């Protein structure tokens, strides 16, 4: 029979072949995956902070919900059925108003909306409309909660002062309603 001529493969030819096959689509895909991975790590980190705050908090039952008293200078927020409250320096009426506001977030399941929009922003970090949508959803949640609190009969002036006091200079967590 006929003999085939030998094929020689060495590292130099292989490396050249590999570099030649990297396309702009591959670079874009790798870039997208790297940045998405960073957003995923940040998301998990934020969930970890909430978990850490919950573990370190003093918990008490409030109807079907949990109030987690924290000793950090963080604006009150809710996450699913947990209301995180820093009640140091807050009088009892203000604390009740804050709990009423946060219970509305809990009962209307705003945490689910926030998780969904966060995942959308992770997957579409390059899309400015995803970020604008996220901001609009958060503002809408606050509007709905504030309207329900005022409809419940809480004095508007005192409630406004409470909101302003909580908004000024107190860090907020992104994954939460605050």
Q: How confident is the model at residue 97, as a pLDDT?
A: 84
Q: How confident is the model at residue 73, as a pLDDT?
A: 81
pTM of the predicted structure, to 2 decimals: 0.74
Cα separation of 159 and 166, whole Å?
11
Confidence of residue 177 (pLDDT cuts 50, 70, 90): low
pLDDT tens-digit map of 11-59: 555 555 555 567 888 899 999 999 999 999 999 999 999 999 999 999 9
pLDDT tens-digit map of 54-111: 999 999 998 899 999 998 888 889 999 999 998 676 778 778 888 899 999 999 999 9
Confidence of residue 119 (pLDDT cuts 50, 70, 90): very high
CA dihedral 36→125→142→144, nearest 10 degrees, is -100
Q: How confident is the model at residue 156, as a pLDDT?
A: 74
Higher pLDDT, 3 or 99: 99
Beta strands in the chain (DSSP E): 58-62, 65-69, 77-79, 82-85
Does the pLDDT value for residue 158 go beyond 90? Answer: no
Q: How confident is the model at residue 45, as a pLDDT?
A: 97
Phi, psi for residue 59 in degrees, rounded to 5: -100, 145
Token pair belonging to 14 = 């292989």
């Amino acid at each position: 029979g006929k003999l085939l001529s030998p094929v020689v493969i060495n590292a130099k030819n292989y490396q050249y072949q590999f570099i030649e096959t990297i396309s702009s689509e591959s670079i874009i895909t790798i870039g997208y995956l790297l940045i998405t991975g960073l957003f995923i790590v940040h998301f998990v980190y934020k969930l970890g902070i909430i978990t850490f705050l919950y573990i370190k908090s003093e918990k008490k039952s409030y109807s079907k919900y949990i109030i987690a008293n924290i000793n950090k200078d963080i604006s009150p927020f809710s996450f699913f059925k947990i209301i995180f409250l820093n009640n140091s320096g807050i009088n009892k009426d203000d604390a009740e108003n804050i709990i009423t506001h946060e219970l509305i977030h809990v009962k209307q399941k705003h945490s689910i909306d926030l998780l969904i929009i966060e995942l959308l922003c992770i997957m579409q970090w390059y899309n400015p409309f995803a970020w604008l949508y996220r901001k609009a959803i958060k503002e809408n949640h606050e509007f709905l909660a504030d309207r329900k609190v005022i409809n419940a009969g809480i004095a508007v002036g005192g409630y406004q002062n409470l909101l302003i006091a909580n908004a000024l200079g107190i860090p907020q967590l992104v994954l939460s309603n605050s």
